[in-house]
Structure 1
Amino acid sequence: MTAVDVRLDHLAIATRFAAGPEHWPVAPRFNPVSRWYERLHVADDHEVWLLTWLPGQSTDLHDHGGSAGAFHVFAGSLTEDTVTTTAGGSPHLTGRELGEGAGRRFSTRHIHRITNRSSRPAVSIHVYGPALTTMTRYRLGRDGLEVRTVEKAGVQW
């Protein structure tokens, strides 16, 4: 069996951070208006974020500006929706629930939406490499994805 190089495996990094919450520089907080997030760590080739989600809180459909990454559900459950197009069909969202301890890697071209559809708060760890510089937010129209906004790190978040 080949050892995983955790410097390059975003999910391994997220899982490692999830295993040591006592080392997080900040404790999770919950905001009743919108999801809460705080950067836990930054390195030359990646960054790590802590996010909290009350029931019903979600992101818009978005990408990560060319960064690859992963997320790990530390507590609760989250649903990830991705855009799927069937042969000859219209694009639609396909959801996948990820429970506590589950994780997901994604590529530099990944577009998704994450929602807490459960009745319990959720906490997740997200890793992006390289660090986020932009995020494009989308709307799913009849003809496919339409760009709504492009946000810049340090300006809009």
Structure 2
Amino acid sequence: MSAPAPAYTPDSVRAGGPSATELLDFALRTAADPDVVASLPLDPEGRTWIRLEGPGGSEAWLIGWPPGTGTGWHDHAESLGAFATARGRLTERSLAVRLPSEGWRSLELAPGVDRSRTLAAGGGRAFGRHHVHEVLNESPDEHAVSVHAYYPPLPLIRRYSRSGPVLHLEQVERPADWQ
């Protein structure tokens, strides 16, 4: 797949909802609140999370990441999103290309579409619809904590696997699958 990613404006909004910039502002403010961060129980074996009250009807989460854990490749469908690191460091690997939203199971990615960034405590980023990424705590010994917000609330998550330049659609999860 070699088409360039469409222009993304951070303030793109769905009628009546918060913009990606507002989601990022919320995530950064919340990540800087030591009482909120301290409320998350941490588990050395797996990720933990607490649902938060997000701005303007958004879905928000406080997430704990033990050393060496990650999300795997995924997207958030039609939702705008943002996340901020409250403690530790998180690495985001993403694709700088818009994928077709349906009708495929496997795609070969063009060279040069991979991006990577590390967000230390106090850092964050916003993203648009159909943003494909994975988030990882690559530390061998330090827990990380982050705040995530999405609008509209997640209608689904598509999960992918990667074999070199080939991206495979593995599964589509809906909110009922997370209950």
Please, what TM-score do these two structures have when normalized by structure 2?
0.73
Superposition pairs for residues 88-107 of structure 1, below 5 Å? 89-90=110-111, 93-107=114-128
Amino acid at match of 1:140: R
Contact residue 74 and residue 160 of structure 2 kept, 8 A: yes
Q: Which of 58, 74, 80 is equivalent to 2:92?
A: 80
Contact residue 25 and residue 40 of structure 1 kept, 8 A: no
Q: Which residue of 2 aligns with 1:154?
A: 176
Amino acid at match of 1:58: G
Instruction: Return 91-100 or 102-111, whichever deviates more.
Output: 91-100
Give structure 1 stretches of 5+ with no counterpart: none
- Give RMSD over aligned pairs: 2.7
Give structure 2 stretches of 5+ with no counterpart: 1-10, 12-16, 98-108
Superposed displacement of residue 60, structure 1: 1.0
Contact residue 91 and residue 143 of structure 1 kept, 8 A: no
Q: Larger helix proportion, structure 1 or 2?
A: 2
Contact residue 64 and residue 110 of structure 1 kept, 8 A: yes
Pairing 1:12–2:12 present: no
Superposed displacement of residue 17, structure 1: 1.7
Q: Larger strand proportion, structure 1 or 2?
A: 1
Q: How many residues align?
A: 150
Aligned CA distance change for structure 1 residues 25 and 61 (closer, same or farther; 3 Å) = closer
